[in-house]
Amino acid sequence: MDLHFGFKPYLQRCGCIFSIITVSILAILPGFWLTAFGNDSPVQVVDEKYQSANKKISLEEAIRIAVEKNPFLQSTRDQVEAALGSLRQSKLYPNPVLEFLAEEIPEDEIGLNQSQNLVAVSQPIITGGKRGLGIRVSEKAKEKDEFDRDTVVLNVIADTKKVFSGVIGDQDGLAIAKETEKIAKGIYESENLRFEAGEVAITNVLRAEVEWSKARNLVSHAEGNLQNSLKELQTVMGIPEETIGGVTGMLLSRPGELSLPELELKMSNNQPILKASKKNIEIAETQLSLEKRQVIPDINVSAGYKRLSLENIDTVQLGVEIPAPFFNRNQGNIQKGRALSKKAKSENQSVYNDLLFQLRRNFNSYHVERKRVMEFKDKILPKAEESLALITRGYREGEFDYIDLLDAQRTWAETRISYIESLKSLNMFIADIERLAVTKIREQ
């Protein structure tokens, strides 16, 4: 008994020590495996990038990331920052010039005691309002760069929406391909059972197996298309090295009616590329006014103190320098300014005509595709669904043969795919119209 009671606490102490050692080993084991084996460690470590790779993003998230990360858009922001620097520099007045001059220094005595010493300051004075015109040119150039940045923002958003629509369409296409594979597999299994029961010939089984193989290939092709679309979306968003697991949301299928005159008016009033083009005209005209003012010479005023050491006399010097515009009256730059002003006006008209053409073309394509989508959704798709359901039920009951079921399955799949392609096209036209008219098109 004494041995028993003496040995039990010992076992308890050993058990406690064993538990502590076990917990310590479990605590340090992941670090040991990672140190010893690196990525081949049998310990599974949760990777944040892996989690983000499986995350699906919405259209709003994709646009936010694209506006933040797109490198071309960032370059336009940098250009605006550079324009702000140019504007700041244009407002600075020319620096005065300080002058110190020692003349007639004797050779036998180096110093300023026997020389004539001058200390003076000169200041350029800009005349004719040229400084104000230069500031106005810089201000308009900054505003033009801001409109260019807004144009790139619209383009990036439109491109993101278009590629995003493609991803949604490819996701739906993959779902249809998998559903087609499921149907083909069911037909194959059904035909195989009927063949074993002696109800159909082996040719039915072989045909069903071929269709099943085609359906599997269709799934592989759809998966490849989806991956390519996701890579394109990542590139447009400015994150080509990251991975997106997919997207969420639905394509617009019933957008509202649009009015072309209203869209044209919105484009004329709000399109930043048009505003940038008009700003180019203002820049050219202001620059022409500045070139004309360059004929008026600037004045250089100077004042100084001169010490005549030999005569022991202090003197004051005043000076005014005015260039005489006899030969150079800035004729060449004035001619250049007139030509650039005409060029800016012609380019503005060209930009407007091109935008108007794009808007009208997308408007017409939008209405054609919108009608096609509604025809699919209201008439074609329901009939294809009903036909497949009826023939499938009749096939199970022996009313239809394998060929009828196969035709119904193909019609259903082709109709769904055509509908998705039409939806993708419609949403891409919507993105272009929104970009051109600077407006938002919503579901009806």
Domain assignment of residue 83, yes or no: no
Q: Which helix (H) or strand (E) holds 110?
A: none
pLDDT for 38 equals 39
Average pLDDT, integer, range 385-390? 90
To which H or E segment does residue 184 belong? Answer: helix 130-196
Return the pLDDT at 108: 66
Q: How far apart are the C-alpha atoms of 344 and 351, rounded to whole Å?
A: 10
Q: Please give the share of the chain, as a percent, with pLDDT higher than 70.
A: 86
Model confidence over 111-163: pLDDT tens digits?
Answer: 666 677 789 999 999 999 999 999 999 999 999 999 999 999 999 999 999 99
Residue 273 in tokens: 């590329």
- Residue 183 has a pLDDT of 86
Q: What is the pLDDT of residues 19-65, one digit of tens each?
A: 443 444 344 334 433 333 334 433 333 344 434 456 899 999 999 99
Does residue 150 form part of some domain?
yes
Task: Note whether residue 424 is domain-resident.
Answer: yes
- Rounded to the nearest integer, the mean pLDDT of the chain is 85
Contact partners, residue 376, CB within 8 Å, separation at least 6 = 415, 418, 419, 422
Question: Which residue's structure tokens are 């092709």?
Answer: 221
In a domain, 214, yes or no: yes
- Position 198 scores a pLDDT of 85
Residue type at position 175: A
Residues 377 and 375: their CA atoms lie apart, in Å, by: 6
The CATH number linked to 267 is 1.20.1600.10
Count of domains for the chain: 1
Q: Is residue 186 part of a domain?
A: yes
When pLDDT is cut at 50, 70 and 90, the band that residue 208 belongs to is confident
Is the sign of the CA dihedral 272, 277, 281, 284 positive or negative?
positive
In which domain, by residue range, is 222 found?
61-69+134-292+338-437
In a domain, 5, yes or no: no
Q: How many CB atoms lie under 10 A from the CB of residue 31?
A: 11
Core vs surface per residue 391-403: b (16+ CB within 10 A) or e: bbeebeeeebebe
- pLDDT of residue 4 exceeding 80: no
In a domain, 311, yes or no: no
Domain membership of residue 246 (yes or no) is yes
pLDDT tens, residue by residue, 319-331: 999 998 889 999 9
Distances from the Cα of 292 to the Cα of 49, 127, 289, angstroms: 62, 12, 5
